[in-house]
Each structure stands twice: as structure tokens, then as C-alpha cells.
Structure 1
Amino acid sequence: MAWNVCEVVPIFFTFFITFVMSMDPPTIQPFNFPPNVELGSQGRLVCGLQKGTLPVNFLWKKNDKEISFSRDSIQLIHHESFLVLEIREIAVSDIANYTCIARNSAGEDSYVAQLLVKAPPFWKEQPKDTEAVHGQSASLHCGIGGYPRPKITWKKAYGTQSKDFLVVHNEYKKTILENGTLVIDSLKEADEGVYTCEAENGVGEGIQATVRLSVHAPPTVTSVKRRTSAKRGETAVIECEITGEQPLLVSWEKDGTKLTMPFTRFETYEEANGKGVKATLLISNVQRRDQGNYLCSVQNDYGSVKDVTALTVQEPPESPSDVKVISVNSRSAQVIWGAPSGISTSIKQFVIMFWKNSKVSGKLHQVSLTSTETSTLLRDLQPGNEYTVQLLAENDVGRGDPSDPVTFETKEEEPEAPPVDVEVEAADSHTLQISWKPPPTDTWNGQLKGYHVGYKVEGSASQLAYETVIKTNLREEKTLLRNLRPSTRYSVAVNAFNSAGDGPASEEIVTSTLNGDPPQSPEVKVKNVSQTSVTIMWSPRVNSDASVEQYVLEYVDTDQNKQEFHAPGSHKEYCIEGLESGQRYSIRVAAYNMFGRGDFSPSLVVITEGNARVPGYEPIVHETPFYFRLYFVIPVVASVTVILCVIVVAWACLKRAHYIEGRKAQLYVSYQQRLTYVPPSEISRDSRAVDAAYDIPWDVPNGGGSMGRDRSSYVKLKQGQNYV
């Protein structure tokens, strides 16, 4: 008969549930240790079942932790219905709560028995001599164990011989904790002395220990004048009387600065008395700068204390206090202050001074105010600039010191002027190079954040599209406008901006992109290497915009000396002669067409054959490493070149497709009106830097012909001019 799975599973679970329900969970028979157990005796606990279905698993725990049977005196005796815990020689460490746990498939049960052993008092923590500070609290520990729990008594010796003791009770400032610790709060000299801790519990002999409590006195200033005064030229006397445990170390500070002796016109001395020291600070020929707060600082091994005396010199007034600048706007700010303190004569007037912080010293402005004024409004400030303001008070004696300088910054306004010397040049058929200089500094009205470069197709009704350029610290800013249409005239304008907004834009400049691009870098290989020459060969990468008119070959030796050679566009190899044997050279090649020079090829590293010559030394023969040999260099360079070619050709094809799609009319630009430039940040076009943009052609040494011109023949497009 075949069983259906859907029928078997319910039957199985029904059987399982019926089986489990028929089992009884375990119930443990109560057990206990015998009474009056003593140390060294034997203890036994039997954890047995009162009822429950077998099999049953038993487990013993001591103080809720599974028992570790590291002692030979502890053993377990197993049986299927009970478990015996046997301790042969009971020790102090065995005093604990013992729990038996029984489990079966239906549940579990547990039972706890406490093992108490009669033991005489013993030390858990021996009392120790204690040192404490006057006014603080001290704890005298007396950690005692034993069963029954010992009774602990504290006693304090009195009299000169320290042989007579009085019992210490729980009272004001004194507390005996349950663990036997004696705590004494707010210590005084009378609390110092000898203390004894005694313990007994009726089992064996009691124990006791004697300790000493030492109370040390920190320094305390008992007398000081809070304020004192002196006239200019007189001698000021500042005194400070201190008590405390010797030795006492005294130091002086003025307005937070430590006075290190010997100090000009300052003198200190101390006079010891029965309980402490009287310290004196003398200031001869008092000057106005001596006015301030003098701090008497005293310390010993148990604490420190400080107290201040304010010295007033009857002189011109102090500087105004709490000078603040509030309600700062772009062209005004309000200054408020409080009257100076400790002056000898009434104030006649206040003088406020302010100036602009700049690299060039700002003009100092001074305004006199009446003695009753506590605020003023500074006017005619420049937006976005930092200013410093100071105040001083004047009385019949003279002007006091100025207040601490307060710096504030006026709110920014939009720049007032556009960038200057804006120039726009075509970099290639899809890119324009824009350069400019910042507006005059006094028109920034704050800190320039950057520039917005706006552009659109000339005559277009659409709004200018903008690119943001973050300001640098260079004297001239530059950027590139990319992804433009070839042979198309664009209107370009630049404006500066700060946190307040945009300034006015420069006049729009109209410039056309080129109708072609310089050639791509050729694929270069090493053909031959000798001791004094290297022959390289290259294959041009065709742009189809214009044919290659010439090549420039550049090599650099180990000392970073650079040499260049030019070859006609029809040449495909070149032999560099006059090289040194055994030297390392880095070689690269770039191509020219009517639109300018393209990128240099990746550098080839070649080492000429032979040994390098060192002046004054005989040549040492070293075998050239295999990774520098020609048979290794050429395949590696060829592989890298192939990869680069695939990337460059794919890019060129995509660029050409966009160029043809957007091209509506043929535009030819004179070669002599071409200025090639890409900023240093454009790493991928490092060969387009201004210093290497155009070289003297190989066949025109004086700079003639379509390729023969130096940088003096560049045509730059200026702001405010149109070019066709």
C-alpha cells in the first residue's frame, strides 16, 4: 500500500506531540547541607528526582556559575535518577550557594542549598596606615570574614602613650559601614591618632589590628587686602598671610602672568611665624602698567590656595572695557563700550580709533566723543573689508592706554566692476581659451569667490550659458569652453562674484572656433640602438582635417638636458646621433599641421649600448638589464602604443562624427591667427602649453612660411574688438 506524504506527515507530528505530552518534567527532591559544618569536614549533597520521566540530565552550579572541578576534593557521582556532589575537605572558598538543575525533554527544575561553615574571624583586607587632608574624608578599612558574621569594633587611642582606647560609635562625622570600614568626614587635627579594629564571632579567637591616621593641613590664606592703591612713583605693598603644614611654597602672578624673581622693581620676601608664613610683594617706583590683579599662590604637599589683591595706580584712566562691535552693515558699524574702572580723576572724553586691515597700511581715523557716550556709529566704511577698532579714555592727567583691538568685517556687496583684460582665443575646433584679470581690488566689496563665464552663439536669441570658475591666487585667470561647434562664432563675457552676488559682466567678445584640429600623437617605435645613436620610427595617426606638415622630436638625457629636432611631414624615422654610451634617454614625437602642434607621443626610455663613463674612474662592465634591452623595450612599447591608439582613434572618431553633424559651412582660418594654449591642469594636452605651442620649423630657420613664425607673430583677441 503506497503512503501519501500529505497523509504521513500529520500522522508523524500527531505521534510526536502525543509522545512529548506523555512525558513528565523533572521535579527535584529538596536537599540541604547538614547544620554546623566546620572547615576541613566533609559535605555531601544528593540531587535526586522526586518525579519525572527518564532520561534526565543533571548539572551543578556554584553561585550561578558552572562548577569547575579544579580541586581533587570535589567529586561528582552520577546516576540516571540522581547526582551526588561531594566535598571531602571543606575550605573557606567552598562557602557558596549550590544549585542543582535537572532537565529532560518535557522541562527542567532546579533547587538551591547554601553551604555555611563555622569559621573564626579572618582578614579579607588588613587595615593600613592612612594619610588624609584636613577638611576632607578618610576611610579606615577593616575587611573581616568568618561565620557566624563577626562583630567589628573600632577604638581610638587617647593620651600621650596611646595605650588607652575609647570605643568609636556611629555619630556625627563618624560612620561604621557593614563591611567594617570606618569613615570620618570633615577631618580635623583632633581626628588624627591611632585606631584599633577588633573582630570576634564566638568561633575561635578574635583578631585585631592597629593603624595610624595622619591628618595633614593644606595652606590657607588668613589675611589679605582685597584692594590697595599707590600713586605713581611710590612703593606699593601687597601682603598675604598663610597657615598650613610646612614647607609652604609662595609664588606671585600679575593678571595671569607669573612673576619670576629677580624682576625689575619687584621684590618678595617671606617671614615665618608659629603657624605659617607672611608673604610680602614690594613694587618700587609704581607705574601705570603695574596696575592690575596680583595673585598670591601658596602650595604644599597637601593642597594649594590662591588669593587676589587689586592694585590701583592713580594715573591716567584705564582703557574702556567690554568694547564690542554690533549691528555691522556693509558701510557702517556700531561700537559700544563700558567705562574704565579704578581711575583717579574723572574722564574728560573718549577717543575712538579705527582703520581698514589691508596689506597696505590703512588710514587711521580718530573721533573724539564725550565722557557720557557709551556707543557710536562708524560711517563711510567699505563693504566686505576687515576693520580694527580701539578706544582710549582721557582725563586731566592724560590719555590712558588703548583698549584691546577688536576686529570686525563689514558685510559684502556685489562687485562694482567687471574683470579686465579679457581675451578669447580658439584652442581647437571645439574649444575656446578665455583669460582675464580680476577687477580692481577696491571694487571687490568682499572676497571674490570666482567668476561666471557666459557664452552663446553669436546672434542667437537664447540666453548666455554659464560656466563657473573658482578664483585662484594667480594674477591671471584662465579656463576652457569645451564641446563647442566647429567653425562657429561665439559671444563671450565674464563677471566676478562674491558671497553677496554677481558683479557686472565684461563687454562681450566674439570669437570663432577653428574648422580643424591639430594631429594626434604618432605611434613611435625604436628601430635601432648603438653606443652613440638611436634610430626611431613613427607612424602618423590620420585626423583627416589636415595633412601633417612637420614633426618635432624631443629627447631628454639623464641630467634632464633637453634637445629638439624637426623633420618634414614626409619623414617617418630619424637617427639621433652624438649620444653617450650606456646612458638613459627619454624620447617622444609630436606632429604639426596647419592648425598647430598635436600631443606628444608617450615617452620611450632607451639606454644606449656600452658602459657609462665616469670621469676619474675606470669603466666597470655591467650587463644591461633585460628590461632595458631593445628586444624587450620595443614589444612593451608597441603593446602600450596599440592600447593608446585604440583609445585615441575611438575618441577621434566620436569627435569627428559630432564635428560633421554640427558642421553647416566651411570656415578656413589663417594659420597665423592661431594661438594654441591649454592650462597646466589639462594634463592630457600637456604638449599644448604656451611655451611649447609653436616651434621654429625645420625648414625655415628665420620663422618664415606658413609654419615659420615665432610667438611674436601670435594674434590675440582683445576685449571690445570683433574679428573675422
Structure 2
Amino acid sequence: MPALVTYRELNESPVGASEVPKFVVRGNQLTINYVDETDNGKYTCHASNDYDKVGLKAEYILNVIVPPRLAPIPAIEKELNDRELQNAIFQCRVERGSAESLSLEWQYMNNTVVQSTDGIYVDTSQFEQQKFIELRFNPLRREHFGNYSCVARNLADTTFVIASLYVKFPPIYVGSNTQTVSSVPGFRAVMKCLFESYPTPEIQWIKMARTSQEPEGRILASDIDQGVNDITTKQIGSTLWETVLSYTPNERDFGFNFECRATNRKTSRHSFTLQKSAPPRAVYPTEAKPLANAIELVVHPPETGGLPLVQYVVKYEQIGANQPDSMKTLIFPAQTMNGEQTQILRIDNLQPSTAYSINILAETRAGIGQSKAPIRLKTLDRQIPQFKLLSTTPEEQMCIDDHKCLIKWSIESDGGAPISKAEIFYAKSKDDSSLEIVDKFSDPQTIDPLKTEYELTNLQPNTNYIIAIRLYNEAGPAEQKIRKQTKPIMNGNIYSTLKPDIKKYRRGQPSKWIIFGIVFGIVATALVVILLCVLIRICRIGANTTKTNDIDNPTTPMMNGENHSDISKTSNGYKNGQSPARKVDDSV
């Protein structure tokens, strides 16, 4: 008899589809529709029949974890006033969701947790019992304006709800404290204002040129008022607004005030006085470096009254020249390198050991700046570098190796200018006592001008060389020579001495792969020739064998339609079935 299967809940009451519609039983399967936390518990499957009334039972424990769902939080709008302090409270409540591992917290919109500070308080005292937390603002300030997020988490999911706090307050100027703007006729001046306000303020620019028709000044507008290039106003934050006036003044505009106004029930304002720029202040170098025939000056840009620096004007003359055209002028365009405005001004083509009077001026659109007392600088003496070679004694003139030699020198003076280049070259000596050479010097080898030693290689053993060092600066080259002798060939060093010649010899020989290819080609050709000879020999032997068989077995012409060939009468290749030896016996 089929087993009777029933499902019971923990209270042992039968579960039937007709009694609780959300439960559906099909055979040995129980389906629970629209599952929620109320369905948590133990479920028992009981199977029995007529032979076993007790039957068997299986138990299942159902634990439903429901994701959290938060109640919507209505927005709050409050207006600040000077009469009384305001406050605001947001409540974040869990409507449903499993309590296991449930958490609630307030966050800013950048996912930073809200801390209790600056008039903001987070109250979590009711979370365990009532499943809600509060965000309190007391006293309410304009900085509290914005959106806040309440985040709920449990093992099933994470959710959040937004709370919006709108704080109404009059406009407040929060820009720079600059009150003057400098320019020159025909050069654009830019004025900028920043305001905080909610709701959106009305922002205007007013030129405070009061007339009988406009006693409060003239409200400026683009494409209408002369000199106005552009007026832009944009929101750059939740309550922050930026407005910029671009204005090209004429001569009559200087001295007027330009005012920016933001109105939202109340008005906030800030004014700029447009003044005519003065030429830049005097320039004095922070560092001066005289050379033999040049002077380098390091300068910083002076105060320019807000105008960009155009160029530096350098005027200089030789002290005591007493010539009408001795004053010379150089122009250096202003440059900015890697964000740094420090600039190096170099005056070239000067006379060595000469004093000069130098004046540096800065120029903007307002004109050439003020002049300080000229500076006096003297160029260095024009001399070539002074140095000496260190190998002077006979013992030091012998190289430490048979194919290389180390040369050292010391620099006594750079001649008033940095050494820019160094060269070394050598030749075989005519004898062992003079500096005369046999043929000519080798091509110069350029070396680091900061080094004071160099090692020559690939020299011949037991040979005298004349080695020359040449140093350059702005005044010209300085040269020193020395005689050096390499050591004789050492027994243990014969291979190292001959190694360059061996390499040179090997480079002149054909490659081993070419030789291998030639040998392989010769061997392959010989094998092919031998193989052809063998094949020809085999073919000839085969042809001779065929001719011999034809002679030993002649054919007889057919007579009366019969073939009387002796072949038909032979047996095993012999006539009459007998061998030739048998025939001899019979005849005997």
C-alpha cells in the first residue's frame, strides 16, 4: 500500500493546501509561497502505511533572512533668522528585515560616516528596542545644508535612504578680500565674486557711475554696455555661486567702483576699485656670476600690479669707456620654466678683466619699471686652463702594463671659466728621450672634462709613446704632453698581448660554416658519382645476361603448323629428361 505522507509544523498541526493557501503539498514535496519571517520554524515530513503506522519522520528547519527596508525620510526645509535658533531632526526607521546582524548608520554623500560634532548629533539609543536612529542638528547652521544617507545592513542585503536638509539663508560673500583691480586702457581686467546662498540668488554687476537717471549705478549687461566683454554666473556647489566680470576699460573708467550683488530676500555685495596700473617696481638680481667674457644674472619678477610681465630690459656699459655709444641694451622676453618664474639673464661678448655697470628693468603693458642704482661687476681674466701631468719621474713614466697605460693630471686653475671639453691623443715616440713623434698623432678621443685620469688601451708592448692632454674653456685650449713606455711582453701575458692580433686574423678568415658547406658539397657530389657508376654497371650486367640466354636456346621454325622446338622435349631444362653426364655414359 502506498505510504501516506503528511507535513506538520512545529506545533504538530497538519498543513493542508485548503487550510493555508500559501502552502502547497504535492506528494512528498512542500512548497511555501511568499516566504517571510513568519515562516521560520521546524518542518516535519512523516511517512507511514498500513504495515507501519508509526512510520518515519524527517525534520527541516527554515530560517528566512529578510533584507532590510527603510521608511522614507521626508525632506526638511528651515529658514535661518537672527531672532531665534533653529534645529532639525531626521529619523531613520527599519520597516522590515531580519534583526540578525542588522546595523544602521548615518553617512555623508561621499560615504563618510557622520560624527557627532559642529552641532550635529547621532542618537542610537532607540535602535535595539525600536529599530530606528536619529540625526539631530542643534543649532541649525547654513553649513548643514545638503543630503545625508541612512544605510542599513544585514546578512541579506544593504540598502539606504536619502534625507535632504534645505537651510534657507541670505547671500554671504565668501570670495577674496581683494578690493582693487589694476589694468591699463585697452587691456582686459577680470573681477570675480563668490557667494553662498539658498535659494538661488539674483546676481548682478553694477558700475557705480551715479547719474540722475541711475542714482544707484548702472547695471551692466553683455553686448550692451561698452567695455563689458562677458559676464558669467554659475553654480559650483550646492549653495556656492561664482560670478565673473570681464571688462576692458578706457581712460575714463579708472577710479570707478564695480560692485557684484547677490539678492535673496537680503542683499550681499562686494566692490572692486578699478585703478590704472603703474609700471613694475625695480629689479635687482638675487645672484650674479661673472665669467671671462660673460655675466649671468639671476632675477625674480617684481611686483607688476596684476599685469603680466612682458620682458626684461638690460642696459650695460663698460666703466670708464667715455664713449657716446658705450651704453648697450639687451631684451629678454619673460619666461616661466616648470612653473618657476626665476630667470637667468646672460650678457655675452664682454671683455675679460673689465668692469661693467649694469641696470635691469622690467616691462609690462603699463610701461618700463623703475630703476635702481646700477650694479657693478668685473669679468674674470681671460686665461686658458692651468694643469699638469702627474708622471714626472722616470719610474712614473713606465706604464703598468704591456698594452695599456693610465694617465693622470691635476687641474690648478680653470682660467676663470669652466672647462667645457677634454681630449686625449697619442703617437709613437721617435726616441726614448725626446717628445718628437714618428708619424702623426692619433684621432683625439673625447673624455669627460670633470675627470682627471684616463686609461689608454690597445697599445704595443715595449714601445715609447708621446701622449697629449688638451683641455678647453672659453679662452681656448691648453695642452700638455708626456712620454710613456709600455712594459715588455710578460710570459704569462703573451696570449693577452697577441689576443687583438688573433681576433684580427680570425676576422679575415672565412666562416667555419662556409668551409663546412664546401666540404659537405664535395662529399655529396662524390657519393652521387659513385651511385651513378654502380647503377650503370648493374644495367650493363643485366643486358649481357639476356643475350646469353638467347644464344643457348635457339628457336626452330614452325613446319606443317607444328612447333618442333627442342624446348618442348626437355625436362627440367635437359633434353630427353636426362642430364649431359648421363648421355656420356650411354655413348661409352
TM over 0.5, shorter chain: no
TM-score norm. by structure 1 comes to: 0.33
TM-score norm. by structure 2 comes to 0.40
